[in-house]
Amino acid sequence: MELLSKDRKIIRLEETDSTNLYIRSLLERETLEEGSIVIADYQTGGRGQMGNSWYSSKGRNLLFSLLLYPKNLFPRDQFIISRIASLAVKRTLDRFTDNICIKWPNDVYWKERKISGILIENDITGEQITRSIIGIGINVNQVIFPSIIPKPICLKMITHSAQDREYIFDIFQKEFFQLYHDFQNGRIRTIEDEYMHNLYRMNDYYWYEDKNGRFLAKIEDVLPSGRLVLKTNSGEERKYAFKEVSFVD
Ligand code: BTN
């Protein structure tokens, strides 16, 4: 299938546990083409990174998962999928507001607040990533959040008017499949550059925390594997996988 065409399969659900899980269980029963999307109005068990939950009130936000069968993608290069997904969200939200950036590895922020989260689940066969389920939550019109969510924001709070979810979903698909097409055609460097260029807390020293405590450092790079490269203020280079380091506010 030509992924840039508009006739990809979209499964629309009123409610499900999690769109990522829905795709996974559907794949146990039937085959689904690359580019298929499951979108739900509500999730009873929305999942976030690190075993967290993803809360979203009914019918207010965008909750969907996309299915890819990447070709020749080795685990050591897997982060390209995160770059594509987060850039597609960023480009989409850029149409509505300034100040959208990507917080490593793949949160999307407006200023200091999180507007979108991404949960990517890859399956490896042999030595390659053969299947990727990309779950995306974008806060669109939800203005009240449970207090346990750190610093959430939605598009409506930024633009001061309710936004059309379908319109946003449409823009997202265009941006996502364009970026994925670029990747398939070898334009990886441009995607990496755009990702680095839009990274939260780039170009200056900030506080970070690892298992040994807090330190001041600057983002140097994000490797194809997804590891974050920091340079401390004493010139030491440190590399971290997701969960091994956190940003200090
Ligand atoms: C995070 O920031 O922790 C990632 C959140 C990912 C949420 C989306 S909503 C659609 C898809 N289904 C899920 O259960 N999670 C992802």
pLDDT score recorded for residue 2:
67
- Residues of the domain holding 54: 10-197
- Around Cβ 119, how many Cβ atoms within 10 Å? 22
Residues 235 and 182 placed together within one structural domain of the fold: no
In a domain, 5, yes or no: no
Helix (H), strand (E) counts: the chain: 5, 12
Instruction: Determine, yes or no, domain membership for 4.
Output: no
- What pLDDT was estimated at residue 4? 74
Identify whether 167 is part of a domain. Answer: yes
Which has the minimum average pLDDT: 1-10, 79-88, 111-120, 181-190?
Answer: 1-10
**Domain-embedded: residue 3:** no
Average pLDDT over residues 67-78: 95
Residue 3 has pLDDT above 80, yes or no: no
Does 1 map to a domain?
no
Instruction: List all residues whose CB is within 6 A of at least one atom of ligand 1.
Output: 18-20, 43, 46-49, 52, 54, 63-65, 107, 117-119, 135-137
User: Nearest-CA neighbor of 132 among 94, 170, 183?
Assistant: 183
Per-residue pLDDT, averaged over 2-26, amounts to: 91
Alpha carbon of 116 to ligand 1 centroid (Å): 9
Residues 239 and 170 in one domain: no
Give the number of domains in the chain: 2
CATH number at residue 53: 3.30.930.10
Q: Which CATH number fits the domain that encloses residue 238?
A: 2.30.30.100
Tell whether 191 and 111 lie within a shared domain: yes
pLDDT band at 244 (very low <50, low <70, confident <90, very high): very high
Nearest atom in ligand 1 to 56's CA: 9
Residue 234 CA to ligand 1 center (angstroms) comes to 37
∠ at Cα 210 (205, 216), nearest 5°?
Answer: 20
End-to-end CA distance of the chain: 45
* pTM to 2 decimal places: 0.97
Above 80 in pLDDT, residue 5?
no
Per-residue confidence at 1, pLDDT binned at 50, 70, 90? Answer: low
State the chain's mean pLDDT as an integer.
96
pLDDT of residue 6: 73
